[in-house]
Amino acid sequence: MVARRSTALGAILALTAAAGCTNVGYYAQSIAGQLDILAKSEPIETLLEQPGTSDALRDKLELALQMREFATAELGLPHNESYTYYADVGRRFVLWNVFATPPLSLQPLEWCFPVAGCVAYRGYFARDDADAFAAGLRADGNDVFVAGIRAYSTLGWFRDPVLNTLINTSEEQLAGFVFHELSHQLLYVKGDTTFNESFATAVEQEGVRRWLERRNAPERVRAYTASLEREERVVELLLDFKRRLGRVYAAQDDDARKLAEKARLFAALKQSYADMSRDWPADAGYGAWFRQPLNNAHLVSVGTYHEFVPAFKALLAARDGDLEAFYAEAARIAGLDRQARRRELAALRQFGPVNDAAVAPPARSRAERSAAGASAQLVQACAPRAQVAWHDGLHALRAEGEYLGKRALADAVDGHRVEVVQRERLARHVLHRRRLPAG
């Protein structure tokens, strides 16, 4: 999952050797799982031409190609071969992620990898492997949750295919998966899972809404909006109980009393959901989740994907839905150190932009908006603490495409000592998406 297609096996094996003997087994299953997906991938266009392709699969694959084009043309997401291929992995989930916390803590255990950095879960391509790892964590006294995952992103290192795990989902869910995973290719902060997943979830939800509007489906837009409102209420409920549990764990009390209060709060959480959802549709989708035994790791998994979604939505609203400006501002926040990033997102989540005039750039020309979008790419490619001084560039920009010339791009990125391979990939993406000359 960490190398270019042309040298995938050699690069991954080199990283495996560098990672040390204790991780060889884990990286071996990662290599095998990723190579299996690559081997099973076929161009969607080829499958559409084959007479043996079922009508149901054909319809979904045609939709996937339309969504892929929409993602680039309308949402400004990366243009590449991801989601133009299809792979049937022969199982319901492609991965199983293992989340874990200490029994009296909401701080997730983290595992660190060469490219993705430290993340709050550990993924396995086989359920048995995930369960075995989870059993070891439980034996050490941790709270553990194993979650089935339908899709994931290799951050552009590989040609991510549409998977059979997505084919039987709804159109809204399929679009959401495609937009979510492509968002990771656009902006990713090494070592900050909550930022990455919250950003991608916010882009996913906005993207699905725009997709449905483009398809002239107002009733489905209303149904999707209602489902998001229910989801937001569930997430708020979970985050509220997460805060209450955090206060219990931080209190000066003995562990036995903390554990008793923990059990009481989880029981109260289930009852609160039952009261909240009494009049909801039967297919609201959360009942099975609440019926399982819940622990700290379940709350961590939800927080990882949703905690800062309201903050990113507030950021997008403050820019009047301008995705390029939103991406640029999200990238600016990504460039802050971890504590400053969390403080700013927490403030946005609670209050929205306090003084939008101080945050948002002034009214801009199309060329200036293009530069803002390119700047989001530059910030994403640079070291986490580096910030591109794009405001100065915007004021100086007058000629369409001037800022996006290959020389200007290369010079800007060289100033932050980005690896050559990253620079070339960035330049190709930005220049292609803007449809500007390369010279």
- Model confidence at 318, pLDDT cuts 50, 70, 90, reads very high
DSSP 129-196: HHHHHHHHHHHTT-EEEEEEES----TTSS-PPEEHHHHTS-HHHHHHHHHHHHHHHH---TT-HHHH
CA distance 173 to 187: 21
The residue among 154 and 101 whose pLDDT is bigger is 101
**Hunting for tokens 């076929």 — which residue is that?**
42
β-sheet with 122-124: strand ranges across: 122-124, 95-101, 143-149
* Spatial contact of 87 and 243, defined as CB atoms under 8 Å apart: no
Does residue 68 register a pLDDT over 90? yes
Q: Averaged over 403-427, what is the pLDDT? A: 41
Q: What is the pLDDT of residue 352?
A: 63
**CB contact set of 277 (below 8 Å; sequence gap of 6+):** 230, 284, 286, 287
The single-letter code of the amino acid at 200 is: A
Q: Residues 120-144: pLDDT tens digits?
A: 889 999 999 999 999 999 999 999 9
- Sign of the C-alpha dihedral, residues 73, 200, 174, 12? positive
pTM given for the model? 0.73
Six-digit token pair at 422? 């990253």
Per-residue pLDDT of 155-177, as tens digits, reads 888 899 999 999 989 999 999 99
CA pair distance 119, 18, nearest whole angstrom: 19
Return the structure tokens found at 334.
Answer: 């990504």
SS3 state of residue 149: strand
Most distant pair of Cα atoms in the chain: their distance: 69
Range with lowest mean pLDDT among 180-189, 288-297, 305-314, 355-364: 355-364
> Tokens for 416?
């932050």
First to last CA, the chain: 33
CB 196 within 8 A of CB 331: no
